[in-house]
Amino acid sequence: MTMARNVHSAEERAVRKSRVEAATTALRESSQLSGSHVPAARAALKDYLRRLNEPNQPSDATFQALLKAPFAQPRHRP
């Protein structure tokens, strides 16, 4: 018995492709950054790419936060 493959619309494939490109670009551009927040932010992006085939994907706002995380300045605690 074969498993049924998910059939995605052209729009879903386009969104997925643009997200993959954005995530890989953010990983490439953040590879030379330093800071205590960078490794965790890069790990979150890598985890997103690993979980692309899972049905529950992050919202657009959450995805944008993932992309910006390596480049954001961490908040300093008082």
- How confident is the model over 4-52, as pLDDT tens digits? 556 778 888 899 999 999 999 999 999 888 888 899 999 999 999 999 8
Report the alpha-carbon distance of residue 14 to residue 19 in Å, rounded.
9
Cα dihedral 57/19/51/55 (nearest 10):
30
The Cα 77–Cα 2 span in angstroms is: 54
In which residue are the tokens 């480049």 written?
71
pLDDT digits (tens, 9 = 90+) for 2-11: 555 567 788 8
The residue among 70, 67, 77 whose CA lies nearest residue 35 is 70
d(CA 68, CA 65): 5
The answer to whether the CB of 70 falls within 8 A of the CB of 42 is yes
For the chain, the structural domain boundaries read 25-71
